[in-house]
Amino acid sequence: MKTDGSAAPAEPSDLDLVQRIKSGQEDAFEQMVDRYHARVYSLSYGVLRNAEDAEEATQDTFLTLYRKIGTFDESKKFFSWFYRVALNQAYSRARRRRPASTVPIEDYLPRFSSDGHIASPELPDWSASIEDGAIARELAGRAGEFIADLPPAYRDVIWMYDVEEMSTSDIAETLEISIPALKSRLHRARLYVRQRLAEISQAPAQEEVSR
């Protein structure tokens, strides 16, 4: 079978679409929605754990994109900027749905004595609880809640790295921080989530003992 030798038209880059959206081309905005709707919805659902809320957060994200595309610096990577818009919309809806202030993360981090040794009690091991499927699912859901409670500086890092599995270089670029700062925040955020998970995984056992 002969062909005319012509190649299929190349997909426009994110920057091409951004420039066309800025110039008022509606079809470019529709292409951007088609390109990123599934990924934004997945991110929103991961934060909100509710299909209706996730869809509304996704719509809010693209509405914000349409309104604020003019502020995007074209020398930056588009998806890093857009990802942050999507994450902020999801967490904003989560706060409206479940009003709560962020927690002081320092209250859940290990404390050290003057000689440099850990002075606070050792964190309990909750990993055995994961052998129970029901408990594992509960812990996974609660981990998302605890991440949402973190101050944004810690919340965004742990979500991007442990949930979205983004690379450290992409996260650092998105958040405009150094990789050492990223690793420090990630470590502190993980300690906090681990401590909170340890508390809830031990609660049923403690209740049984008290009966």
Instruction: Give pTM, 2 decimals.
Output: 0.63
The whole-number pLDDT of residue 208 equals 44
Q: Which domains does the chain have, with CATH numbers?
A: 14-97 (1.10.1740.10), 105-210 (1.10.10.10)
The whole-number pLDDT of residue 131 equals 47
Q: What is the pLDDT along the chain (211 residues), one digit of tens a residue?
A: 555 655 566 899 999 999 999 999 999 999 999 999 999 998 898 788 789 999 999 999 999 999 999 999 999 889 889 998 998 898 888 878 765 555 565 555 555 444 444 444 454 444 444 444 555 555 566 777 788 778 888 888 988 888 888 899 988 988 889 999 999 999 999 988 888 888 876 654 444 434 4
The whole-number pLDDT of residue 112 equals 45
With b for 16 or more beta-carbon neighbours within 10 A and e for fewer, the 85-114 pattern comes to bbbbbbbebbeeeeeeeeeebeebeeeeee
Q: Token digits for 133?
A: 């499927």
